[in-house]
Structure 1
Amino acid sequence: MDRTRRFSRPPGPLSPPPRLLAALIAGVVAAGGLVASAQTAHAADTELARNGGFEAGLDGWSCTAGSGTAVSSPVHGGAKALQATPAGGDNAQCAQSVTVQPNSTYTLSSWVRGSYVYLGASGTGTTDVSTWTQSAPSWQQLTTTFKTGASTTSVTIYTHGWYGTGAYYADDVSLLGPGGDPVQLPAVPTGLTAGSATSSSITLNWAASSGATGYRVYQGGTQVATTSGTSATVTGLAASTAYTFQVSATNTAGESAKSAAVTASTTSGGGNPGGGGLPAHALVGYLHASFANGSGYTRMADVPDSWDVIDLAFGEPTSVTSGDIRFTPCPVSECPGVESTADFKAAIKAKQAAGKKVLISIGGQNGQVQLTTTAARDTFVASVSKIIDEYGLDGLDVDFEGHSLSLNTGDTDFRNPTTPVVVNLISALKTLKAKYGAKFVLTMAPETFFVQMGYQYYGSGPWGGQDPRCGAYLPVIHALRDDLTLLHVQDYNSGSIMGLDNQYHSMGGADFHIAMTDMLLTGFPVAGDSSRMFPALRPDQVAIGLPASTNAGNGYTAPAEVTKALNCLTKNADCGSYRTHGSWPGLRGLMTWSVNWDRFNGGEFARNFDAYPWS
C-alpha cells in the first residue's frame, strides 16, 4: 500500500502481455524450428506418439479449457484430425506425455493448418524446443528435434494456437526415437472411502491402482489435490457441509477414468484454528500511523468502532536486506494534531479492550524487505518482536510488495521452496507465531500479481512464470496456512487477471472480486499445471481487499458492486458472468486501504460493511 494515492504505481506490468509482443518473442524462440527439415528416423527408432492421427478422438491427448475436438474435415491423413480453438486467455494447447529414454535424440513432427500454429516439446531435460507457422492456409509440416537429458524418462509434446486467433488443425503428430513398449493407462482406482473429518477437512483413502505413478483427487468434478500415495486430506472446506469426491490414477500414458464417487460431510466445528479471536465477519483497515498524505491524519482514539482489525502502516526496514524493522509514529511536523506516544499506546489498549485487534504492518509500496540471509531473518524476528512488545500489539500484517518476494529460476514447487528470501520469511513468521502462541494474529496483504497470477502464467522461469514475482507468495501462504489468520489479497492496482474460467476479469466490478476470491476458496493449478494444485483456504481465512474510495486506489468498486460480490460468494445470489465453485457463508469479510481514506470519503466503505446482511 502506498503512502500517497494507491494508484501511483503504473498498473502496466500487471496487465496481460501484448499479443503482438508475445508472438514476436515466441517467434524468436522458435526461429530455429522454422528452418528445420524433416529427418529420416533410424532403423531402431519407434513411433512414440499415441493416437497422433486422432483416429481415436482425443484419446491420449489433453486440451486446455476443453478447446480440442476430433473432426472429419479437413484432415491430412486417415479419417480424423484435431481442431482446437483458442478462446479468451486460453491458447488451445493439446498435449500428451510420452515415455522416452535418457541421452537420446528424437524427431517431432506434425502436419498443421491455420494461423499461429505451434508444435513443441517440454520437459526434455536439455533445451525445450518449439516451432511454429504464422500462416498455413493448407496443410504444412512442422518438424523439430531434441535430445533428452541424462535422467529424462518422459517428455510432453504439444500443439497450440494463439490468443484471439481462430481454430487451428493438426494431424499425423509423430515422435520418432528410441523407445520400448508403450505405457498403458493405469487402472481406475477402487475402494475409495472417507476417513476422519474436521470442520474444514476430510481425509480420503483408496486402494493402489496397477500401473499408477500418481493420483488426482476431485471434489465435485474439480481437481483439488495430487499425490503419489493412496490417501489425501482435502482442506479448505466449509463446516457442516457434504462433499462428493472421486480419484483417478495417472502415469506417463495419461489419466485413468475417475473412481466411483464417495460423499462425506465436515463436522460442525467452529472457531479459527489460525488464532486471532476475530468476529465471524470482520472489517480490516490500514491506519496511516507513521506518515500523512491527502487523506489527513486520524488519531488511534478516533478510529470508528466499525473496524475490527487495525493495521498500523507501516513498520519499515532500515535497509532492504538488513531485516531490521522500525516503527516511528508520525511526527508532529508532518501530522499536526498527532497524539503523544503515551496517548497512542493508551488508545491501542482501549481498542483492544473493546475487542479490536491492532497489528503492525510491515512493508507497503516503499518498504521493500528482502530476508536474503539467516542473519537478516533473525534480525527481522527480533525487531518485529520489539515493536509488538513496545506497543502491546496483537500480531503482524505482512504487506511485502515490489521485489521483496521473487523466486529464483528452478524454484518450481510451492510446497518445497528453495529461494532464500521466501524460505527465510517462512521461518521468521513461524518463529513469531511460536513465540506468541494462539493469540497471535497473522495476516497477509499481497497483490494479485503475487498470488492469482501464479495460475495465469506459464513458459520459462519460476512455476514457468514470466516474472520472478509471479505467484511468489504461494509458498509463504501454503507454509503458513495453519497459522494464517487472514489473507486479504489486494484486488486493485492489478490490471486484468485470468480466473478459473480462463477468462480475464477487470478491476472495479463484482465479477473481479468474485473470480479472485473463488480461486482462493477453490484452489487452483499453479501456472496451469494440474500436478501443482494450490489447495483452497478456509473461508474464515479470507477477506476481500479493496480501495476505500476513488482516491485510494486504481480499481475502486462502488458499494453496490461490493454487495453483489458478497451476495454471490456467501449466498450464491447476484452472480454475474463468473460462476463460482461453491458458496461460502463463512467468508471472513473485507479489507480496505484505508481507514484514513474512508473517513476522508465520509465513511462510505465502513457503512456498507456494517449494513450488509450476512445471514
Structure 2
Amino acid sequence: MSLPGLLHRAGLVALVVLTTLLSILLPANVLAADRGAWAPDTAYTVGDIVSHGGKGYDCRQSHRSLVGWEPPNTPALWLERTGNPPPDTQAPSAPPSLTSTAKTHESVSLSWGAATDNVGVTGYEVFVNAGTSPSSATTGATSVTVTGLQENTTYTFTVRARDAVGNRSAPSNAHSVTTSPRPAPDTVPPTTPGALRATGVSNSSVSLTWTASTDNVGVTGYEVFVNGGSSASTTTTDATNATVTGLAANTTYLFTVKARDAAGNRSAASNSVSATTMGTPPAGSRLIVGYWHNFDNGSTNIRLRDVSPKFDVIQVAFAEPVGGPGSGRMAFTPYNASVADFKADIALLKSQGRKVLISIGGANGTVHLDNATARQDFVTTMQALIDTYGFDGLDLDLEGSSLSLNGGDTDFRNPTTPRITNVIQATRQLLNQNGPGFILTMAPETAYVQGGMAAYGGPWGAYLPVIYALRDRLTYLHVQHYNTGTVMALDGRAYAQSTPDFHVAMAEMMLLGFPVGGNPQAMFPGLRPDQVLIGLPSSPQAAGGGYTTPANVHRALDYLIMGQSFGGTYVLRNPAGYPGFKGLMTWSINWDAFTNFEFSNSHRAYLDSIR
C-alpha cells in the first residue's frame, strides 16, 4: 500500500540498515544543489538541499517525493543539516502558448503551457491590459476563466508563474480577445429529461440516472424532487445521475427530475419513478477488506489459506509490470507457494464464501498505460492471471506516478490524459470480459481523491476521473486514510490523520461529493454508502503515519454510521449518519498477525455488534 518503497518491500528492519549504510557510504564530495522548500511529487537526487519546517536537509537517496515523505518522517531519505539552506532566488520560466478557449459577453477562458522551476511552480497569475496586479490566480492549474469583463470589449492577457517563495516569472506571450456582445434574454426552458430510472438502493439512499436534456443555450444542471416536493432534494451540474441520501429505511419514495439552464429556466418534470429503500443492514453485513503480502517485508509470513476468517475480502498484493512501467505487461508469481498450491488456497477461501482479488500496482509497481499497445498488453496479461488463479475481481492500487493529470486536463468527467483514459478503458474491458459478478475495488491515496477539492491537476484529484467513469461497476472504494498530511474537508477545515474527525470528514466527502478544484460547477457526485469503506493501517508498524487506535476508530464509526457524535470538530452534513456504510479496509493482513490480530479481532466484533 502507500508506503515508501523502503518500508513497503524491505520492512522496518531494512529501513534501519539502509539508514546506517547511507550515513557511511554517502560521498562527501557530492555537489550540493539548493532545491528550496521541500515539495511532493518532485524528483530529488543525492546531494540536493531542501528546507522544511525551518530546517535544512540533505538528500541521501534519489527518489520522487510523495505526501507523507516529508524530511522529518523519512530519515532514510533526508539528513538534517546545520544552518539554514540558501534562499531560493531563481524565478520560474515564462508560461508558454497562452491562448483563449472560450468567451462570453463578460468572461474569457484562457489556457497555457506549464512553466518550470528549480524547486516547483506553485501557481500562476493572470494580468489584464498590462495591469500591475493580477486579476486572477490559480494554485497550479494551467487554465482559468477571467470574469467581470465588459461586453464587446478587447482585452489583452498575460500570465506569470510563481514559486513558493514568491519569485515571479517573466510574462507569457500577450493574447488579445474581444468579448461577445450581450445576448438577448434567454426565456426558453430546456427539454424534459427522459427515461428516469433507479439504478441502486441502500437502506438510506437511492441512485438515479436519466437521459440528457437539450437547451437553446445550454443545460447547466438538474434538480431531483422527492415525493412531489416543491424544492429540490438533490442537484447536479450537468451529470445525468445522482444519489439521494438521508432517506428512511424500508420506505418507498417517488422521484422526478427537472433540467435547468443558466438563466434559471426549468424544464417540465421527467417521468416519475418509485424506489423502495432497503431495510436496516443486519449484523454481520459489514466487511473487513485486507491486503495479503506476496513478499516478505518484516511482518509475519502467512499462507493464503491461513488468513484469519475475520477478513471477508482478501486483496492479493500485487500484480506488477514487467519490462518497465510503460510496458503494460503484468505478472504475478506466488513467493511462498507453488502455483498449484496457491490456486488451491484461493479455491479454499472462495469455498468459505470469501472473495479473493488481485491488486494492481502498490507503492513500487508503477503502471503507465500511455498508449493503445500498453493498454492491450495490460488487458491480455491481467486476463491470463485472472483465468490462471480464479480471482474474483480486480483492485486498482495505483500510486506514485501511475496516475497524474496532464496540463490542460481540467474536467474529471471528460479526461484527456492517456495514462488515465487507458486505465479506464482497460478496466472496463476486463469488467465486461468477466461478467457482472466480477468485483472492482480501488485503494487511492487521499491526495488523489479528496485532495482534488483544493486543487485539480498533476496528482491532485487524479483518481477522480477513474472513479467517476467506473462508478457504475465500482464495488468498493477504500481510500487510504494514512501516510497523508492534513486534508481539507467539506467544512473548509483541514483535518489530520489518526483522528476520528479525519475519518468521518474524509468518508463523508465520498458519500456526498465535493466541488473539484473548488469549482461549484464541477461537483464530483457522491457514492452509495455500500460502496465506501475506510482504509487504515492494521498496526503502527504497517504505515509511516495514520495508525488509529480501535477505540478512536469506533468513535468515528459510531458517528458516521449511527449519527452518535463523539463531540469532535467535524459535524456531519447528514446528522442521522449512513447506516449502509460498508466497513473497513486494512494494510495489512500480515501486519495484523504481527500484532496478534488486534485489528481484525477488535473491528470484527464491533462491526458485527451494530445494525
Give the counterpart of 1:345 among 343, 346, 351: 343
* SS of structure 1 residue aligned to 2:419: helix
Could you tell me whether the CA contact under 8 Å between 1:194 and 1:202 is conserved in 2? no
The aligned counterpart of 1:595 is 589
Alpha-carbon separation, structure 2, partners of 1:27 and 1:507: 24
> What does 1:188-587 correspond to in 2, within 5 Å?
196-197=197-198, 199=201, 200-202=206-208, 214-215=220-221, 217=223, 224-227=235-238, 232-235=240-243, 237=245, 240=250, 249=260, 251=262, 266-268=275-277, 280-289=285-294, 291-318=295-322, 319-330=324-335, 338-457=336-455, 465=456, 467-553=457-543, 554-575=545-566, 576-582=568-574, 583-587=577-581
**Cα shift at 1:610:** 1.2
Unmatched tracts of structure 1, length 5 or more:
39-48, 50-88, 90-94, 107-123, 132-145, 154-178, 273-278, 331-337, 458-464
The aligned counterpart of 2:112 is none
Equivalent position amino acid for 1:414 in 2 = F
Equivalent position amino acid for 1:599 in 2 = A
Could you tell me whether the CA contact under 8 Å between 1:236 and 1:539 is conserved in 2? no
Could you tell me whether the CA contact under 8 Å between 2:450 and 2:461 is conserved in 1? yes
* SS of structure 2 residue aligned to 1:545: strand
Change (3 A) 1:29 1:471: closer
**Cα shift at 1:345:** 1.9
Could you tell me whether the CA contact under 8 Å between 1:492 and 1:546 is conserved in 2? yes
Equivalent position amino acid for 2:561 in 1 = T
Equivalent position amino acid for 2:329 in 1 = D
Give the counterpart of 1:105 among 154, 159, 168: 154
**Cα shift at 1:97:** 4.8
What is the identity percentage for the equivalent residue pairs of Structure 1 and Structure 2? 40
Matched, 1:611 2:611: no
Could you tell me whether the CA contact under 8 Å between 2:126 and 2:160 is conserved in 1? no
Alpha-carbon separation, structure 2, partners of 1:500 and 1:245: 27
Change (3 A) 1:246 1:497: farther
Alpha-carbon separation, structure 2, partners of 1:578 and 1:243: 32
Alpha-carbon separation, structure 2, partners of 1:259 and 1:581: 30
Change (3 A) 1:432 1:347: same
**Cα shift at 1:600:** 0.6
* SS of structure 2 residue aligned to 1:5: helix
Equivalent position amino acid for 1:477 in 2 = I
Equivalent position amino acid for 1:416 in 2 = N
Change (3 A) 1:208 1:437: closer
* CA RMSD between the two structures: 4.4
Change (3 A) 1:424 1:343: same
The aligned counterpart of 2:104 is none
Alignment deviations for residues 501-557 of structure 1 (CA, whole Å, 9 cap, x no partner) = 111010001111111110111011111111111111111111110111111111111
* SS of structure 1 residue aligned to 2:542: coil
**Cα shift at 1:210:** 10
Change (3 A) 1:101 1:507: same
Alpha-carbon separation, structure 1, partners of 2:570 and 2:194: 33
Change (3 A) 1:391 1:32: closer
Change (3 A) 1:375 1:470: same
The aligned counterpart of 1:84 is none
Give the counterpart of 1:11 among 67, 73, 81: 67
Alpha-carbon separation, structure 2, partners of 1:27 and 1:329: 43
**Cα shift at 1:129:** 8.4
Alpha-carbon separation, structure 1, partners of 2:214 and 2:337: 66
**Cα shift at 1:194:** 12
**Cα shift at 1:411:** 1.3
Alpha-carbon separation, structure 2, partners of 1:96 and 1:256: 25
Alignment deviations for residues 157-213 of structure 1 (CA, whole Å, 9 cap, x no partner) = xxxxxxxxxxxxxxxxxxxxxx547968x7999999996445232468999999875
* SS of structure 2 residue aligned to 1:495: coil
Change (3 A) 1:195 1:322: closer
* SS of structure 2 residue aligned to 1:11: coil
**Cα shift at 1:574:** 2.4
> What does 1:83-122 correspond to in 2, within 5 Å?
97-98=147-148, 104-106=153-155
The aligned counterpart of 1:139 is none
* SS of structure 2 residue aligned to 1:468: coil
Alpha-carbon separation, structure 2, partners of 1:521 and 1:578: 15
Alpha-carbon separation, structure 2, partners of 1:28 and 1:344: 50
The aligned counterpart of 1:163 is none
**Cα shift at 1:245:** 9.3
Could you tell me whether the CA contact under 8 Å between 1:187 and 1:249 is conserved in 2? no
Alpha-carbon separation, structure 2, partners of 1:380 and 1:192: 38
Could you tell me whether the CA contact under 8 Å between 2:489 and 2:509 is conserved in 1? yes
* SS of structure 2 residue aligned to 1:201: strand
Equivalent position amino acid for 2:334 in 1 = P
Alpha-carbon separation, structure 1, partners of 2:129 and 2:161: 9
